[in-house]
Structures are given as structure tokens and as C-alpha cells.
Amino acid sequence: MQLEGAGNSLNLIIKDIKDKGTKYIVTFNDDTKIKISPLVLADFNLYAGKEVSEEELNKLKKEEEKDEIKKYVKTLVNKKPYTERDLLKKALAKFKNYHLVIEVIRELKVSHLIDDEEFIDNYMDYFDKNNFGEYFIINFFRSSGLKEDLIKKLHFDEENEKKKALNYFESIKNKFVSSNFAKQKRKIYDRMLQRGFNISVILDVLNNLKINEEVENERLRKDFKKVKMKYFITNDNQVDANSKIINKLINKGYSLDAINALIDSDDDFDETKEKLND
């Protein structure tokens, strides 16, 4: 793009401006063209025949790029909440002018379009409604790039944490009913830990899980029968077989007392190997 003399300065002259909907095409007297938004066109009061200095042209291009960055950031924010850090990363990935991106982000912060405190408030409502625990929430905000001083201001009411934990427990407890009692507790414990609740809250909530003795004993009898047949078939040494049966059932989560009680009541326990060897 060449600038030509006009008076004491070098200027371009606007030859033509065409409306292309979301953009205007500005053609200069040297047939070079630039695309600008209606807002930039109005701000610079551009019209056919106007002389534009090199300094004005550079300002115009800068404002047009700023306008593009603003539009991009606003589009992101309208889709979902973002932290300042995430918006900055996305904008820098699309626009290479670092200083201009920083300038735009600062302007949008002043206008409260970018507001990390509002971001926290929005997500805290979501986490409360969907029963997420303290540690999950803190880790989420840290991974989102929030400043540590904002995270330290978060307050977690113990009673509310227990309420959320109990709500979550009620929503998942029936997913593991096919497992024995110990496995149910372990699986629920793991899920609640992943949800971000602290151990004391989890253990308190797990007290609400009640064992059905009849169902639990029936599960133990079925598992005992399976492992008894398996280890008597594969072991010549009955003492070794007995030990493996007990260890297997303990690993499944049954108590040693319950296992020993079942073995003591099993009339053919000692005879099973003899039958299999006949």
C-alpha cells in the first residue's frame, strides 16, 4: 500500500466504500483494500474522498483487529462462563498480537464482561445443585486458572457439605446392590471421594448404609460354594485349599467371623475333597 503526497503529509484517499453486510470494503486510490466493521467505519467517520494519513490508517487497522478480538471473546462468553486465563489463552491462540489481546481483555474486565468472581458464583450454584464436594470444587477452580486469593475466599459450610454428600449417596447407593456389603461401601466410598467430599463426611454418610443380614448371608453362601469347589479341585492339600477359600472370601469383603461360622456349619466341608477324589 503506497501513500501519496497531499499537502505536507503522505495520505491515501478513499476511492470507494461498499457495504458487504457485516463488513465494509474500503478501497483506496492505489486500489488497495481493507475490511472494517460498521463500528470502526463510524468511529473514524470514513467516506469516499476522505484523506487518510499513515498514522490514521494504522490506528484504523488496530481498532479493527481489537473489534475482531472483542467479538471473538464475547462469542465465547455468551456460550458459557470462562475465567480470564482461559479467555486469554483462547484469544492468543487465534490472534497473534499479544499486547492488543491483553488490552482487549483489560477493557472487557473493566466493563465486567470478564468477571472471575461472577464465574465462581455461577459454578458454585451448579456445584451445589449437583452435589459436588469441597475438594472437587477447589481443584476445578485451580485448574481453570483462578487466582489463589479468590480460591482462598471460598467458604464451605460443614452442614451443607454433609447435605450434598447425603444427597449424592442417595442417588448412587442402589447402583451397587448386587455386590456384598463391604464392596458396596468401598464402591460408594470411592465414588464420593472422586466427587470431592472429605473423608470424615464420607464416613459419616456411610453410616446410613444398612446391611441386610439375610441377603448378605445368602451372598456369602453362594460365593463360598463357588470358591470351595474351585480350590478343592485344584489343590491336593486340603489345609492349603481351606486357607485359599478363606482368603478369597475375605478379599471379597466378607468378615472372618462370618466365614468361619459358615465353614463350621458346613457339614460336608471336610468331605468335599474326598468326594472329588473318588
Task: List the grid coordinates of 96.
Answer: 497473534
User: Considering the entire predicted model, what is its pTM?
Assistant: 0.59
Local structure of residue 156 (DSSP, 8 states): -
Hey, which bits of the chain come out as E strands? 4-6, 9-19, 24-28, 33-36, 51-53
Tally Cβ neighbours within 10 Å of residue 12.
22
Between the alpha carbon of residue 142 and those of residues 51, 93, 158, the distances in Å are: 52, 21, 21
What string of DSSP letters covers 173-206?
A: GGGGTTS-HHHHHHHHHHHHHHTT--HHHHHHHH
Look at residue 248 in the predicted model and tell me its pLDDT.
75
Structural domain total, the chain: 3
Domain boundary (203, 230, 254) is at: 203
In this prediction, residue 186 has a pLDDT band, given cuts at 50, 70 and 90, of: confident
- pLDDT value of residue 11: 83
* Residue 105 covered by a domain: yes
CATH number at 13 reads 1.10.10.10
Residue 208 forms part of a structural domain:
no
Q: Is residue 267 part of a domain?
A: yes
The DSSP output letter for 11 is E
Query: Would you state the pLDDT for residue 158?
Result: 92
User: How high is the pLDDT of residue 273?
Assistant: 41
Same domain assignment for residues 105 and 163: no
Q: Are residues 224 and 265 in the same domain?
A: yes
Q: How far is CA 271 from CA 132, 228, 264, in A?
A: 53, 11, 13
- Do 150 and 61 have their domain in common? no
Is the domain of 106 the same as that of 9?
yes
**What gap in Å lies between CA 29 and CA 103, rounded to an integer?**
32
Q: Could you identify the residue written with the cell 481351606?
A: 242
Q: pLDDT by residue (tens digit) across 59-112?
A: 988 999 999 999 999 999 888 888 999 999 999 999 989 999 999 999 888 888
**62 lies in which domain range?**
4-110
Same domain for 124 and 95, yes or no, is no
CA-based end-to-end distance of the chain: 102
pLDDT digits (tens, 9 = 90+) for 209-264: 776 566 666 777 777 777 777 666 555 555 566 677 777 777 776 767 777 777 77
User: For position 156, what pLDDT does the model report?
Assistant: 94
State whether 136 and 104 are in the same domain: no
